[in-house]
A and B are shown apart, each in its own frame.
Chain A
Amino acid sequence: MMTHSEAEILLHRYFEGTTSLNEEMNLREYFRTGDVHPDLAELNPMFAYWDKAAKVMAPPVKRTAMRRRMPLRWFSTAAAAILLLFAAGTWFNDLPSLTDVPIAEAKTKTIDWSKYEVTDPEEAYIVLRNALGTASAEMNRSARITIREISEARRILK
Chain B
Amino acid sequence: MIGANASTILDHYSSIITSVRDRLYRLALRVVNDADEAEDVVQDVLVKSWGQRDEIVRLDNPPAWLLRMTKHQAIDRLRSAKVRSARETEAAASDHDVRTPYRIAAANDTLGHVHRLLQQLPPAQRMVLQLREVEGMEYQEIAEATDLTMQQVKTYLHRGRHKIRALLLKEKISQP
Contact = CB atoms under 8 A, between A and B. Distances in A.
A53 B138 CA distance: 18
Interface string B155-176: 0011001101100110001111
Interface residues of B, number: 40
A17 B157 contact: yes
Contact of B158 (A17, A25, A66): A17
Interface string B23-64: 011100100000100011011000100000000000000000
B122 interface: no
Contacts of A58: 21-22, 24-26, 39, 42
B110 interface: yes
A42 interface: yes
Contact of B162 (A15, A48, A69): A15
A151 interface: no
B165 A46 contact: yes
Contacts of B11: none
Interface in A34-52: 41-46, 48-50, 52
B138 A49 contact: no
B146 interface: no
A56 interface: yes
B169 A49 contact: no
Contacts of B47: 66
B134 interface: yes
Interface of A: 14-17, 21, 24-25, 41-46, 48-50, 52-54, 56-59, 65-66, 69, 157
Given A45-B168, A48-B111, 6 more contacts: A17-B158, A42-B174, A45-B175, A46-B168, A49-B115, A57-B22
